[in-house]
Structure 1
């Protein structure tokens, strides 16, 4: 939709194409799959956040970082997914001009925040493994909370800069966004002027925001591997390695997809539009519900708390399984007497 202006035509809304070649008969299954992904992400991330807030034994630096990561993912999915779900469920694929750029701001802010939070996670692991005796004096809850607040503010600044770069160019004609969200590289190509410079600026900013934390993460894990290798004779190296593998999985889920996504947007690859969109969707949203599940399954403290909660919710089931065993033991004792 466009409106006429004295010397130009201004776009008043954008249309999210999602999967451009998807047949209408598949709209409902796709919307149900996206809704299921959103519900799982909502429940999983909310559970992690609530557990960390309510359980005093989880008031530790690493869990504060995990809670911030879960909150970021929760916001991202809540801002991005409902609109594309509505497109396939109700046929409402349009988004207002200002709504699109607000979504663009949130997408890039929260994407940048994920990189910074995961960098803090790697630094925390480095200190815990390489300086275990000084860990509690170096890494405190107050310090981690301060760094997390700074990360939120810095990420918002990055998102604002990328949004200003995209919004300052005129949009006069095409308004069909080849994505499931309003991302900078997908929106700015719709401008009615040459945006090569603006696209390069956005790409450079995005690469710096992701590559600098990634460099810090790689350096920290090189040092961790070195320390673990030198202490191979110590039994604690297995625990350190187990803890790090969880974080390496999360890092792989976040950084590799995001870097590939920016490169795909910058360099037009010869891919079917629907396949390209599927890759983008998997790269963007799968880590958000996989991350809390990974932490719940591989983090002993969270796993134990979830087990305690399940036992308190279903005590009758536990009693039903235990009672026959107790009766059997009692009968053996009586016979022995």
Structure 2
């Protein structure tokens, strides 16, 4: 360590291949994307929180998903917008580790919420008579609170990584700080830490995915046994929405893990694009999916907007 410089700040590269001539355009697009996600996820969360009519288990899960997306986007995107707008890609080590913790915590939280949503749909479709007594609003609230608390155990990995010395290059080839990118910059043997974190990530990703797949296989078998077309159509309508949301979240992540396992060499820009795809596409799409496919939320938001317009007009 005698001739090595220990860095107390990192630099987020964003898309490494983007020319400086396109920085303003890139920052503008990110700014628009962030504002859409900020407004839509914030609106979904607030509407479900304030409207007593929406105080139901499934809507509570949607509210938690929207709030998680809201926190994730706010913790990551403004810094990247500043990088392209003001050439402010540098981030202090403390801010980087805080961001890394939030990124992993909220990603785990999203996977747990999606798993709980799949279980909720399984009970609603396969055991509809027991649904109201099994899945209550209070039980769902306790489950969500427990998930927020338990998933925060990932703080341990941030504390461990923060103990390593960092030297040489301080460039984080990503939109935000994450354990995989930060460990590459450590001036120490991080093999054991990387293996432990990879194992945890695989267990969370493929464990929750397996539970979701099992839930929807059971739902499919139950739906196929329905004799009435109306019941089949309603169940199909609900499942397609949730399967699409799950596909947006899991498909890019599974591809990234498979590429890593097969040791495929991805270009830096493609790697960052996949990070953006898996991180922000679900947050951008989910509010529109739930608002357009869920009649109660759509009607309440429409009536609220009409009331606001009428109040403004008067």
**TM-score scaled by length of structure 2:** 0.94
1:17 corresponds to 2:13: yes
Q: Which residue of 1 aligns with 2:269?
A: 274
Q: Which residue of 2 aligns with 1:248?
A: 243
Q: Which residue of 2 aligns with 1:325?
A: none
CA distance 1:265–1:94, shift in 2 (3 Å) = farther
Q: Which residue of 2 aligns with 1:70?
A: 66
Q: Which residue of 2 aligns with 1:106?
A: 102
Distance in 1 separating the partners of 2:277 and 2:214: 28
Q: 1:235 is paired with a residue of what secondary structure?
A: helix
TM-fit CA distance, 1:201: 1.3
Larger-gyration structure (1/2)? 1
Distance in 1 separating the partners of 2:160 and 2:259: 20
Alignment of structure 1 residues 283-294 onto 2, 5 Å: 283-294=278-289
Segment of structure 1 superposing worse, 135-144 or 170-179 = 170-179
Instruction: Spell out, residue by residue over 1:223-261, the C-alpha distance to the aligned partner (whole angstroms, 9 max, x if none).
Output: 100110001435212111101111111111111222333
The answer (yes or no) to whether the contact 2:4–2:168 under 8 Å persists in 1 is no
Q: 1:171 is paired with a residue of what secondary structure?
A: coil
Q: Which residue of 2 aligns with 1:176?
A: 171
Out of 47, 50, 53, the residue aligned to residue 49 of structure 2 is 53
The answer (yes or no) to whether the contact 1:261–1:283 under 8 Å persists in 2 is no
1:201 corresponds to 2:196: yes
CA distance 1:272–1:172, shift in 2 (3 Å) = closer
Distance in 2 separating the partners of 1:207 and 1:143: 28
Distance in 2 separating the partners of 1:116 and 1:153: 12
Distance in 1 separating the partners of 2:276 and 2:151: 22
1:127 corresponds to 2:126: no
Q: 2:291 is paired with a residue of what secondary structure?
A: helix
Alignment of structure 1 residues 195-234 onto 2, 5 Å: 195-234=190-229
Q: Which residue of 2 aligns with 1:332?
A: none
TM-fit CA distance, 1:18: 0.9
Instruction: Spell out, residue by residue over 1:40-66, the C-alpha distance to the aligned partner (whole angstroms, 9 max, x if none).
Output: 000000110111011111000000000
TM-fit CA distance, 1:174: 1.7
The answer (yes or no) to whether the contact 1:45–1:73 under 8 Å persists in 2 is yes
The answer (yes or no) to whether the contact 2:122–2:216 under 8 Å persists in 1 is yes
Q: Which residue of 1 aligns with 2:139?
A: 143
Out of 74, 80, 86, the residue aligned to residue 76 of structure 2 is 80
Q: 1:149 is paired with a residue of what secondary structure?
A: helix
The answer (yes or no) to whether the contact 1:86–1:92 under 8 Å persists in 2 is yes
TM-fit CA distance, 1:269: 3.1
TM-fit CA distance, 1:262: 3.9
Instruction: Spell out, residue by residue over 1:140-160, the C-alpha distance to the aligned partner (whole angstroms, 9 max, x if none).
Output: 1110001101111121112x1
CA distance 1:266–1:166, shift in 2 (3 Å) = farther
Instruction: Structure 1: give runs of 5+ residues left out of the alignment.
Output: 317-337
The answer (yes or no) to whether the contact 1:165–1:202 under 8 Å persists in 2 is no
Q: Which residue of 2 aligns with 1:152?
A: 148
Distance in 2 separating the partners of 1:193 and 1:70: 38
User: Matched residue pairs, number?
Assistant: 313
Out of 291, 295, 299, the residue aligned to residue 294 of structure 2 is 299
TM-fit CA distance, 1:170: 2.0
Q: Which residue of 1 aligns with 2:181?
A: 186
Q: 1:193 is paired with a residue of what secondary structure?
A: coil
Instruction: Structure 2: give runs of 5+ residues left out of the alignment.
Output: none
The answer (yes or no) to whether the contact 1:186–1:265 under 8 Å persists in 2 is no
Distance in 2 separating the partners of 1:145 and 1:210: 23
Distance in 2 separating the partners of 1:188 and 1:263: 20
